[in-house]
A and B are shown apart, each in its own frame.
Chain A
Amino acid sequence: MSISGGIIDCHIHPNADLGSTPEETAETLLRYADRMGIEMMGLSLGPIFHPQPTEEQIEADNTFNANIIALHPDRFFGYANINPNRLYHALSEISERIENGPFIGIKLWIAMCCTHPNLDPICERAAELGVPILQHTFLRPEGNLAGESSPADLVELAARHPDTTFIGAHTGFNWEQGAREFADQANIVADTCGGDPDMGFVETAVRWMGADRVLYGSDAGGRSFATQLAKVHGADISDADKEKILRTNAKRVLNL
């Protein structure tokens, strides 16, 4: 199918194997994105993933991504990395990187489970700025990592902050459960990134959340753009719903 305008990938990372500089990383990502019809990509984390990042690591990763955006502002956007364990610094980064640009969202990974009260001022600030929070969500069969949030954790947080929009990353990874968890919390949208291209993923997300609440993401560079796009291109849903997932939902949620 073709969509009017390019695909928006709401979830990528500038992994070190893509390049050692913002220039190299951007060049690599754009080469492959162009082949796949991807117009824009949303950056978070950095070349090396830090489960409990220091303030210096946060700033370095945010600067790395800001430099990529500066090179190609029409192709990249970004989420401000923060660590809620360092709340003053987190709020400072939000002000500096979003209020003053160039980032248009907030990224939360696994430094702290998202039910913690430290998340409250962050969510309030996101609502004030009108930007979404991209929250990693996961369900591991042996139990989640310390600080890792489940879909139910995000639902709890989102219920406390109905004026904030949340992107539930990976649909909880175990998507059959995650999509159901998210279903009734209207201020959560889900992204489809990461994980294998399991048939049924996108159909299940659409069934439980509706096509307006599902966003395409890849988790590149660890994941292939192709395998993640296959979840949408191969899904037994209408072309209109595919267009929402591949582009128009992201434009709405991210104010692109």
Chain B
Amino acid sequence: MIIDCNANLGQWPFRRTAYSTPDQLVERLARVQIDHAWVTSLDAVMLKDVTAANEPLAEAVADHTQLTAIGTVNPKWPAWGSDVEACAEQFGMPGVRVNPNYQSWTLEEPVFADLLAAARDLGLFVEIAVRMTDERHHHPLVMVPPVALSGLLANALEYSDVPIVVANAKNAEAGSVARDSGGDLPDNLFFELSHFESVGGVQSVAENIGVEHVLFGTHAPYFYPEAATLKVFDECDFSEADLEAITHANAERLLAGD
């Protein structure tokens, strides 16, 4: 059983991606034995009203039991609380994603705590996308720095009952949070592995932050999904228990709120 905690539907404005529809994505992920995927909307990232993408996303996956829609919200946008409520109550989503760098706010601002409080009230997890593409691939007129993770740890400790997923973070970014935590990340903090690099890098990061904090993710179809499966199953030498944790048990624990 493999749960992909970081897949996408729709189109990125600066590159056409194949496998961008639900049917295509499900088929593409099945090729590498991925059974289920949490999907966000690529279209949402650059929209001013990001929530305009949520209803279409929910409708798109409604007939696909292999996909779970994750809405996008912007806590700087007027009446954003109703958008979070819609994700939970209208669309039945288990979590919401934010793109603070594209939405012009930081994790140190009060809006992040406000979002976590709203998520707690509704039983949602919150996912932070650190980046969408390598900064060196950005369009020269749309260069967006990655999300700084300062402020993440303090808020994760303050809102210890809200699961927080950090997506698209690199080894050093996950490592810096682990270092700041004194090597003991809060139980509610998870890092998705699609951007972990270097030879044996997933295993190095897992040893650093704790395997119980690692979620399997592909960033497909922007990335080839084989990158994640080859990293986890071939390049690294995880125990069966660690593979269980990374590929689905951690995600299931997150959803169960354990």
Q: Are B225 and A234 in contact (CB under 8 A)?
A: yes
Closest to A139 in B: B136
Q: Which residue of A lies closest to B14 (CB)?
A: A176
* Complex contact B134–A224 (CB within 8 A): no
**Which residue from B139, B140, B230 sits with its C-beta under 8 Å from A226?**
B230
Tell me whether A199 and B220 are in contact in the complex, defined as CB-CB below 8 angstroms, given that A226-B230, A229-B230 are known contacts: yes
In the bound assembly, the distance between CA atoms of A249 and B138 in angstroms comes to 31
A86 within 8 A of B: no
B200 at the interface (CB under 8 A from A): yes
- Determine the chain B residues whose CB is within 8 A of the CB of A18 once the complex forms: 199
Q: Report the Cα distance A109→B196, complex, angstroms.
A: 25
Chain A residue with the shortest CB-CB distance to B134: A196
Chain A residue with minimal CB distance to B139? Answer: A141
Q: Is the CB of B230 within 8 A of A233?
A: yes
- In the assembly, what is the distance between CA of A246 and CA of B196, in Å? 23
> Would you give the shortest CB distance from A137 to chain B, in whole angstroms?
13
B contact residues around A116 at 8 Å (CB): none
Q: Is the CB of B222 within 8 A of A225?
A: no
**Residue A166 is within 8 A (CB to CB) of chain B in the complex:** no
Question: Are B227 and A227 neighbours in the complex by a CB distance under 8 Å?
Answer: yes
**Is B18 at the interface (CB under 8 A from chain A)?**
yes
Which residues does chain B contribute within 8 Å of A28, judged by CB atoms?
199
Contacts of A197 in B (CB 8 A): 223-224, 226-227
| Chain B residues within 8 Å of chain A by Cβ, number | 33
User: Are B198 and A233 in contact, CB atoms less than 8 angstroms apart?
Assistant: no
Please determine whether B195 and A196 come into contact, CB atoms closer than 8 angstroms: yes
Any chain A CB within 8 A of the CB of B97?
A: no
Residue from B133, B143, B201 in contact with A196 in the complex, judged by beta carbons closer than 8 Å: B133
- Contact of B197 (CB < 8 Å), options: A174, A223, A233: A223
CA A224 – CA B228 in complex, angstroms?
Answer: 11
User: Shortest beta-carbon distance, A68 to chain B, in Å?
Assistant: 15
Question: Which secondary structure dominates chain B's binding surface?
Answer: loop
Q: In the assembled complex, how far is the CB of residue B233 from the closest CB belonging to chain A, in whole angstroms?
A: 9
Of A176, A225, A230, the contact of B15 (CB 8 Å cutoff)? A176
Query: B132-165 toward A: CB 8 Å interface, digit per residue (1/0)?
Result: 0110111110010000000000000000000000
A236 contacts partner chain B, Cβ-Cβ < 8 Å: yes
Q: Is A160 an interface residue (CB 8 A)?
A: no
Does A235 belong to the interface (CB within 8 Å)? yes
Q: Is the CB of A235 within 8 A of B234?
A: no
Asked if B143 and A200 sit within 8 Å, CB to CB, the answer is no
Q: Which A residues have a C-beta under 8 Å from some C-beta of B?
A: 17-18, 28-29, 32, 35-36, 140-142, 173-174, 176, 195-200, 220-227, 229-231, 233-236
Which B residues have a C-beta under 8 Å from some C-beta of A? 15, 17-19, 133-134, 136-140, 143, 195-202, 220-227, 230-231, 234-235, 237
**A-B contact sample (20 more), CB < 8 A, given A28-B199, A198-B137:** A17-B198, A36-B235, A141-B136, A195-B134, A195-B137, A196-B195, A199-B221, A199-B223, A200-B17, A224-B197, A224-B199, A224-B200, A224-B227, A224-B231, A225-B199, A227-B197, A229-B230, A230-B225, A230-B230, A233-B230
Q: Identify 11 residue pairs between A and B in the complex whose beta-carbon atoms are under 8 Å apart, listed by A's number.
A: A36-B230, A141-B139, A199-B19, A222-B198, A224-B235, A227-B231, A230-B225, A230-B226, A231-B227, A233-B224, A234-B224
